[in-house]
Amino acid sequence: MAADSRGNAGLNGPLSNAPGAASACTSGTLPSGGISGRTGSSATDIVYVSHGHGPALAVVMAPVMPYWDEGQFFAPLTERLVALGYRVMIFDSLSLQPAPEDLATFAHAWRQVLQGLGPVQLLAGSALGGALVQSLLASRWAASIPATLLISAPTQADSQLDERLGYMAQLAAAGELTAALRWLEHWVAADAGTTATIPASAGNPVARGLAPDGPFLAHRPTQARPVATEPLRDRDAARPRPTADALACERLARGFGLLEKLDVRDAVHAYPGKLLSLYGEQSQLVRASNISFPRTTRHLAASIAGSGMRPHTEHPARVWAWVQEHLRLTAQIAS
């Protein structure tokens, strides 16, 4: 992709859906009240990155991640979409503040932001981002979007998913970032037949040193990050600013908590457009039992063999073949 050119929409610099002469990749923030630029004491900035400047808009919602990765989680699909003439806006789902505690309220707040973007041709999301997207599908705004792509996105939680996400949320809430990330990395990977169970001794306080062994944590940055730029809930200047790791723990606990007892089947059923839900056949988190909506000519789910929670990065060609087969995305040409 082209070199990154950073920008900030600012409270007085609303974005639009019109193609322009911007560089191939820009990133920045926009008001949480939407593109109209609503301000107020509760308004905060939404974090996004935008690739390409084609005439069609694809909106992508990010999964739970401790640190915003500038949209790299979606890179294999971003490149293909930009090549087709899409402008791809990837949003940090957890940048929305103040943070709602339930998915329905979370989705309503995000709709207020996204509906100001103008016409959307493709709505996509991964994991939490995909659950958020599905929650949006019952809205009048989403009814006009012709295609939706979900990657490892649960429609309904079961006891195993609730247990595993809940345990990682508990670790993060207790400040055990390394343990939470090791469990996340272990469960995100394709199931290799190894057994790692949540220890019976885990509880309150969370036991230390019980995370799976691993030489590398892909979710932790290789270099120290500056303190995150997310607005603080407590704006009292006398209080010390949280560390980057403390903010990472807060993001994990909040994100996993939003998925507790998830059930967005009715929202998916109401969506009139084409929907494709892809998941890894060897996923240890989102499994076939969590993709629970009726398969029709419009709504399709498919597993990707040999993949865990990241089929689009582990087998991008297979994923793109499914996208083209079902969603039938075509080249977008400016009029």
Residue 331: band (very low, low, confident or very high) from pLDDT cuts 50, 70, 90: confident
- The DSSP call for residue 130 is H
Q: Which helix (H) or strand (E) holds 148?
A: strand 147-151
CA dist., res. 302 & res. 304, Å (int) = 7
In the chain, the percentage of residues whose pLDDT exceeds 90 is 64
Q: Which amino acid is at 37?
A: G
- The DSSP call for residue 33 is T
Distances (CA, A) of 317 to 146, 248, 312: 23, 32, 8
pLDDT digit string, tens, across residues 283-301: 999 999 999 888 889 999 9
pLDDT digit string, tens, across residues 74-85: 999 999 999 999
Q: Say if CB 263 and CB 293 are below 8 A apart.
A: no
Per-residue pLDDT at 211 exceeds 70 = no
Exposure class string for 2-12: b at 16+ Cβ within 10 A, else e: eeeeeeebeee
CA dist., res. 314 & res. 259, Å (int) = 24
3-state helix, strand, coil in the chain (%, to 5): 35, 15, 50
In this prediction, residue 206 carries a pLDDT of: 46
Instruction: Quote the tokens at residue 57.
Output: 């808009």
CA dist., res. 300 & res. 12, Å (int) = 41
Instruction: Quote the tokens at residue 25.
Output: 């990749």
In this prediction, residue 199 carries a pLDDT of: 64
Q: Say if CB 229 and CB 97 are below 8 A apart.
A: no
Q: Say if CB 117 and CB 104 are below 8 A apart.
A: no
Q: Which helix (H) or strand (E) holds 252?
A: helix 244-258
Q: Say if CB 244 and CB 224 are below 8 A apart.
A: yes
Q: Which amino acid is at 265?
A: R
Angle in degrees, 0-180, between the axes of helices 177-188 and 244-258, rounded to the nearest 10: 50
φ/ψ of 73, rounded to 5, equals -60, -25
Residue 316: band (very low, low, confident or very high) from pLDDT cuts 50, 70, 90: very high
Residue 321: band (very low, low, confident or very high) from pLDDT cuts 50, 70, 90: very high
pLDDT digit string, tens, across residues 28-59: 666 554 443 332 224 458 999 999 989 999 99
CA dist., res. 255 & res. 189, Å (int) = 19
Instruction: Quote the tokens at residue 206.
Output: 């969370």
Instruction: Quote the tokens at residue 146.
Output: 């012709």
Which domains are assigned to the chain? 20-157+263-326 (3.40.50.1820), 161-258 (no CATH)
**What pTM, to 2 d.p., does this model score?**
0.81
- The DSSP call for residue 155 is S
Q: Which amino acid is at 73?
A: F
Instruction: Quote the tokens at residue 48.
Output: 């996004």
In this prediction, residue 222 carries a pLDDT of: 43
Instruction: Quote the tokens at residue 55.
Output: 């005439």
Please give the mean pLDDT across all residues of the chain.
81
- DSSP for 198-213, please give it: --TT-SSSPPSS-SPP
pLDDT digit string, tens, across residues 115-144: 999 999 999 999 999 999 999 999 999 999
In this prediction, residue 242 carries a pLDDT of: 75
Residue 174: band (very low, low, confident or very high) from pLDDT cuts 50, 70, 90: very high
Average pLDDT score over residue span 149-153:
98
